[in-house]
Amino acid sequence: DSGVTQTPKHLITATGQRVTLRCSPRSGDLSVYWYQQSLDQGLQFLIQYYNGEERAKGNILERFSAQQFPDLHSELNLSSLELGDSALYFCASSVYGGLETQYFGPGTRLLVL
Amino acid sequence: TQLLEQSPQFLSIQEGENLTVYCNSSSVFSSLQWYRQEPGEGPVLLVTVVTGGEVKKLKRLTFQFGDARKDSSLHITAAQPGDTGLYLCAGARDGNKLVFGAGTILRVKS
């Protein structure tokens, strides 16, 4: 158990819909990262927040957005969903958001039908 | 095209055998990490290598970072069924953005 929690564990929805994935970092960690893992693209960095502020952006689509709240939990919003958005979405956290260890949550498996 | 190329993509071996997984790139990374991921779980960090030529050992696992900091290898001695999983290498760029390889699926049969 990494100490990072993600909800829901599984999500099935239809194309065109919008979903919200939630992540609670480890106690004391200020930085949250979001990743997408699919069979064809592998594990890809989407976005990072540190203490409520966006710190780094990766391959995140414009249809996707994220935020980190004052209590440090984070949400990833996926809208206008397409079949290709089906993937595992991981949240990770670290203390300061530098090169220290990132602890990954168990992931949310999203299936878009 | 993957920035980090991992090979082999899949490895099935008998318990007690040795194996090496490679992670290669044409880019230089400030550091390189190795993760292991089991089904239904997130990746777990095994090691971070920072210095070119660095070698780190973790029990039966030996990690090496290339002199030019563009490649790395993971060697497992006397593999055990508990080593089964997906092994991912990840390079750090632009500060702390991680770029992951496609992974090597390792299956160790008893």
pLDDT digits (tens, 9 = 90+) for A48-72: 999 999 999 998 999 999 999 999 9
d(CA B31, CA A47): 19
Across all residues in chain A, what is the average pLDDT? Answer: 95
Task: Give, as one character, the DSSP assignment of residue A113.
Answer: -
CB of B48 less than 8 A from some CB of A = yes
A27: region left, alpha or beta (phi > 0 left; psi from -120 to 50 alpha): beta
pLDDT digits (tens, 9 = 90+) for B62-109: 999 999 999 999 999 999 999 999 999 999 877 678 899 999 999 999
Pairing of strands B55-58, A103-104: unpaired
Closest residue by Cα to residue B109 from B85, B89, B80: B80
Interchain pair B43, A90: CB under 8 A: yes
Tokens of A59: 């391959």
Q: Which of A43, A97, A106 sits opposite B41 (nearest CB)?
A: A106
Mean pLDDT in residue range B4-19: 97
Question: Is the sign of the CA dihedral A113, A45, A80, A75 positive or negative?
Answer: positive
- A21, A89 contact by CB (below 8 A): yes
d(CA A37, CA A20): 17
Interchain pair A106, B42: CB under 8 A: yes
Q: State which H helix or E strand residue A93 sits in.
A: strand A87-94
pLDDT of residue B2: 62
* R_g (Cα) of chain B, nearest Å: 13
d(CA B40, CA B89): 19
d(CA B42, CA B60): 22
Mean pLDDT in residue range A37-49: 93
Interchain pair B48, A99: CB under 8 A: yes
